[in-house]
Structure 1
Amino acid sequence: MPSLRIALHQAPAGVPRSVEDSLAALDETARTAAARGAGLLVTPELSLTGYALGEDVAERAEPADGPSARALSRIAAAHGIAVVYGYPERDPGSGQLYNSAALVAADGAPLAGYRKTHLYGGWESRHFTPGERLVVQAELAGVRAGLLVCYDVEFPEAVRAHALAGTELLIVPTALMRPYDIVAQTLLPARAWESQLYVAYANRAGCEGEFDFAGLSALAAPDGSVPVRAGRHEALLIADVDTGLLRASRERNGYLTDRRPELYTV
């Protein structure tokens, strides 16, 4: 059965960097992750700019095929590793801004783009438009991968929609803050267990502006285990997504097959 080695970069917080500095740091992280055998690198929410953008969101936003996307394609191809990154997206047609995540293949080809559907708090709601497409997927080394961003994973309906659509690895760039450790420590493994998929959760650590990020990045598995988890500081976690384990877990666990959707009318 296909297996995919992934790297989760728990990035250090700080003053939001220039995109150029972020790309240089990401290039080095991709180099290290690829050298450790990873086929996919996952970075945090808004990893290209930092989260604490204040009122500068519009000035830092780019279209999905903008210069940063082209730079990421070059980085992925140079190191032979797929990359998930977060950035503020500007729609060229409407001018609306989105909190977005993109997946680039190991050959540099764009695979998927997702706009965060559940916006968290007043700052995000003031600056971003919620996305309208919940399930975005791509095939990655024989694994069906899907994308959500941070707060999205805290809604069981969002994760279940992915499971029912066949997602095997749910990738979640995040900016989880203290004191909400329960999301990473309790809710994340529960989501993986109840919807029978892997959840890859990449956070940042430390303080940035008014935000104190929780760290605790992790890969949660469908059998209820957490193969890797970071602490409170910068880390590069390496773990395997095993579709054989996923299939065996789904055969033992009847959550998806025993559902009675005709009763779920609320």
Structure 2
Amino acid sequence: MAVSAPTSAPTTAERIRSACVRADGAMLAVAGGDPTPTPVHHLLDDGSFVVAAPDDGAPGTVLSAIACAGAAGVPAVLEMTDYAPLALREPVRALVWIRGRLRQVPAGELPALLDRVASTDPNPALLQVNSDNSGIGPGSGRDVRLAILRLQIESVVVADATGAESVPPAALLTARPDPFCAMESCWLQHLEAAHHDVVDRLAARLPSTLRRGRVRPLGLDRYGVRLRIESADGDHDVRLPFTRPVDDVTALSQAIRVLMGCPFLNGLRARGA
């Protein structure tokens, strides 16, 4: 019986789910309106995204387009940007485009929907939904009131340094975010600032032709470590896979030590211990 090789990288759907969790920049666009930042972009298990848009009554906005369309909603695109947490020459790691139909949430359904989102994603921006926006304006110090909308997914595309790929919405729903995606930014920043020795030992595993530039930590997930090599002839991304996927911090630490070639898989021990 043939034995399948261990998975060495996340699936495209898993990458998108992780990007949804850590995406710092998200924009919502509809035909005839200006793209607007959306601080809320939460995927529900029914195949729709809960998003937020400013409720300021201005013409040419997402909300004004929906108001004109009525119950049918409007075609819309949600763009999410996955930025590296370090000051790289090219900080964008991936772009995700989610197309679908955007509709308002009926007032009677809004409280339950907000509770549903907040139970797993307590985003502070949810506090701006239906809040009093009196006094909003330059220098007012008040947050803009937000309206909650739902985007029913029709297609999903992700693009990164390897190219672009579409993902069926059903695959997106069955995939799960990487268990370390919420902590990845802090870990990479700490690795860059305080552990150049670790980066150097990981870089030693690269082909000699890729060691001529500056090696930076680019990504970390349950499948391995990604490095960015910034050189005179451009940027190159390389994945160093773990021997097997890991699911907790202890296993992650051991897997990184294996990549480094460290004989002490559980850390340094005193003699005789």
TM bin, normalised by shorter chain, reads under 0.3
Q: Which has the higher contact order (CA 8 A, sep 6+)?
A: 1
Structure whose alpha-carbon radius of gyration is higher: 2
Normalising by structure 1, report the TM-score. 0.26
Normalising by structure 2, report the TM-score. 0.25
